[in-house]
Amino acid sequence: MIAAPLHLAGERLALDPAGVLAWPAQRLLAVADLHLEKGSAAATRGRFLPPYDTRETLSRLAPLLRRWSPQVLVFLGDSFHDRDGSSRLAAAERGMLAAMLAGIRVIWALGNHDPVAPHDLPGEAVEELSLGPLVFRHIARLGANAEISGHFHPKATMPTRAGGVTRPCFLADGRRVVLPAFGAFCGGLDVRDPALAAHFPRGGRAFLLGRDRLYSFPTRAPALA
């Protein structure tokens, strides 16, 4: 896979086509919105979803940890689909996750879906993490600078000869990066939606996730009211 370089606040970052962000100088990897145990959360409400989302998501994360060998792993919130999600982890998935996190400094940024620390898992829970010039949090703040966040599950449509192709994407400008959702059952919010576009008043650049590379193109600034 070919990662795309991105500079933010003087730091060189790398956007991985699998949907994670690396900060090589800090040996740091950031991933957003895993929404683990979404299937079991739906079951508690009488809705059936295949109960395999956690294993699928972790199976996609494991090779990325091998690829980047991070010393610091930042989960950018909504790592679990609800506050009790970590308590519902099956023994196999809990063991799988614990083994993946062994030897890594793990930071759990709290999200709106998981506002409490995960149960019986390694790591520290924070509202946000400031490291060097960068700040990591779940939800972007209007006017913030040097910010890396998740929450919005950005997606964009790229025109092609065969018609538009819609995929999850990174969305970035000179002030911030919003990561795509990593979870198996996650939907997406179009980058033109006002809730997301408000954070990019001059437009931004979408990096569409591809199989082996990212496809980059500019997004328009939101129309003035």
CATH no. for residue 46?
3.60.21
Residue 72 resides in a domain: yes
Residue 201 resides in a domain: yes
Q: Is the pLDDT of residue 161 over 80?
A: no
Which letter, b or e, does each residue of 181-205 get, where b requires 16 or more Cβ atoms within 10 Å of its Cβ? bbbbbbebbbbeeeebbebbeeebb
Residue 125 resides in a domain: yes
Residue 48 resides in a domain: yes
> Confidence class of residue 41 from pLDDT cuts 50, 70 and 90?
low
Q: What share of the chain is helix, strand, coil (3-state, %, to 5)?
A: 20, 35, 45
Give me the pLDDT at residue 47, please: 67
Residue 31 resides in a domain: yes
Amino acid residing at 99: A
Domain carrying residue 18: 4-213
Give me the pLDDT at residue 43, please: 61
Residue 34 resides in a domain: yes
Residue 224 resides in a domain: no
Task: Count how many domains the chain has.
Answer: 1
Give me the pLDDT at residue 46, please: 64
Give me the pLDDT at residue 107, please: 98
Residue 219 resides in a domain: no
Give me the pLDDT at residue 223, please: 64
